[in-house]
Chains A and B, each alone.
Chain A
Amino acid sequence: MEKYFDASYIWESIPLLIPFLKMTFMVAGLSVLFGTLLGFILTVAKTGKSKFARKLATGYTTIIRCTPSIVLLFLVYYGLPAIGDRFGLNLNNIDTAVFVIITFTLQFAAAMSEVMRSAFQSIDNGQFEAAVSVGLSNSQAYRRIVFPQAFVVALPNFGNSLLAVLQEGSLAYTIGLIDVVGKANLIIAGNYNAHALEIFLALAIIYWILSIAIEQFFLKLEQVFSKGKQGLKTA
């Protein structure tokens, strides 16, 4: 097995890998969507009055934060079909993408609940009271006053969590999902394990560019949305 470094493999493999970004994006996108919804429910539980719900939501966040993604991924991958078996459901033939989406939804929800909670709590209660005092209903006050402000606060953290989910998503290849990483491993196997380094470098380049693009996008978004934000100077 001759081993040498050949940079041309990097450039040749990038076009082969790009189409598989679709799978990566789909998994990350759906996880973000469902995770945000579940995260919102958790946030409501955390900031709500019920002590039990608060404990439950906080406990959930702690547990998820202490679990490596790969362990959660396999727990879902092996655990769900086993649970399904108990109830006479056959979950063994479900697409692996579903398991990946479930895993990262669980994870993203935990991260999002913290992001949303801290954003919500950063908005002074006086804002809500002022809105109600000028005659807005509760839901109007939340929708028109509190939410737009909390959204701006949450935006950078939302971007970071999104990047994290995109990167953790690279572990999905371990349960056989063919996304960019899965494809890269297939290419390497097709080369009889030669030139693995070049193909991994190509992967790194793809992810790097993607991350920078997303980061910049969120920075721009933040600038757009924070135009109405008043800093300490005007207070």
Chain B
Amino acid sequence: MSEGLNYKFLVDTFFIALSGVPITLFITVVALLFALPLGFLLALTRINRIPVLHRFAQVYVSFVRGTPIIIQIFIVYSSVPLLLSSLFTKFNIGMNVYDVNPIWYAFIVFSFNTTAVLIEVFRSALSTVNRGQLEAAQSVGLTDVQAYRRIIIPQALVVAMPNICTATVNLIKATSLGYAMSLQEITLKAKVAANVGYNYVEAYIDIFLVYLLLCSAVEYAFKLYEKRLSKYKPSVV
């Protein structure tokens, strides 16, 4: 390993790592699509203290925040196949559990995780919107749904946006753990390429660069969007 970096491998593997980006983004988008509405609804149950759901959301958030994501992956990856196989045998479905694409497990884990993160994000964002805003909206004759859609959510979203950005970046970073589920994303692809010639240093430099580009791009996109949203920002007089 003392010959220094293998530059040809470095360049070749960069494109291999890059080919893992679509799957990373796909998981990120699916997890967000699932987590955004669910997180918002559960945040509402927390704020309005809806009896059972409020407690459930509290324990759920505490669990996800209290355990490492890799252990959540381990748990889902070892429990869901158990459940599935018992379901398959019960209903005589001729399908092997090991044929299930690992991407389904990734969807479950990352949606599960991101929902909990977003509950907290939305909860803090919603609590920054003054209660009077809702009352004022109702007093001019808007229904609850209208009031939320037109008055509360736009204001809460401005506050929540930076945190949603952080959550998204963290989610992208967390998908690098998909290798534990043999998911064909950036990290695993580059690592497999490195296995042939033990070029691990080069492979990890490539992975590092790809994540750096990806996360910087996402952060930049969010910044642009935040700028557009900021017209809803209540100005301080």
Query: A66 near B67 (CB under 8 angstroms)?
Result: no
Residue of A nearest to B63 (CB): A208
User: Knowing A75-B205, A196-B74, A201-B75 touch, does A66 contact B68 (C-beta < 8 A)?
Assistant: no
The answer to whether B193 has its CB under 8 Å from any CB of chain A is: no
Q: Would you give the shortest CB distance from B16 to chain A, in whole angstroms?
A: 15
Query: B200 near A5 (CB under 8 angstroms)?
Result: no
Residue of B nearest to A75 (CB): B204
Identify which of residues 45-65 in chain A touch chain B, using a CB-to-CB cut-off of 8 Å.
62-63, 65
Residue of A nearest to B214 (CB): A66
Identify which of residues 160-190 in chain B touch chain A, using a CB-to-CB cut-off of 8 Å.
169, 173-174, 176-177, 187
The answer to whether B9 has its CB under 8 Å from any CB of chain A is: no
Distance between Cα atoms of A65 and B168 in the complex (Å): 12
The answer to whether A34 has its CB under 8 Å from any CB of chain B is: no
Identify which of residues 1-29 in chain B touch chain A, using a CB-to-CB cut-off of 8 Å.
1-2, 4
**Which of A71, A167, A211 has the most CB atoms of chain B within a 10 A radius of its CB?**
A71
User: Knowing A74-B204, A200-B75 touch, does A67 contact B70 (C-beta < 8 A)?
Assistant: no
Identify which of residues 194-216 in chain B touch chain A, using a CB-to-CB cut-off of 8 Å.
200-201, 204-205, 207-208, 211-212, 214-216
Contacts of B70 in A (CB 8 A): 170-171, 181
Identify which of residues 78-133 in chain A touch chain B, using a CB-to-CB cut-off of 8 Å.
78-79, 81-82, 85-86
Distance between Cα atoms of A72 and B211 in the complex (Å): 11
The answer to whether A204 has its CB under 8 Å from any CB of chain B is: yes
Distance between Cα atoms of A167 and B212 in the complex (Å): 22
Apart from A3-B85, A75-B204, list 17 A-B contacts with CB within 8 A. A65-B169, A67-B212, A69-B173, A71-B187, A75-B205, A81-B1, A82-B201, A85-B1, A167-B68, A170-B68, A181-B71, A197-B75, A197-B82, A200-B75, A203-B67, A204-B67, A204-B71
Can you sample 27 A-B contacts with CB below 8 Å? A5-B82, A62-B216, A63-B212, A67-B208, A69-B173, A70-B177, A71-B204, A72-B208, A75-B208, A78-B201, A82-B1, A85-B1, A168-B68, A169-B68, A170-B68, A170-B71, A171-B68, A196-B74, A197-B75, A197-B78, A203-B71, A204-B67, A204-B75, A207-B68, A208-B63, A211-B65, A212-B66
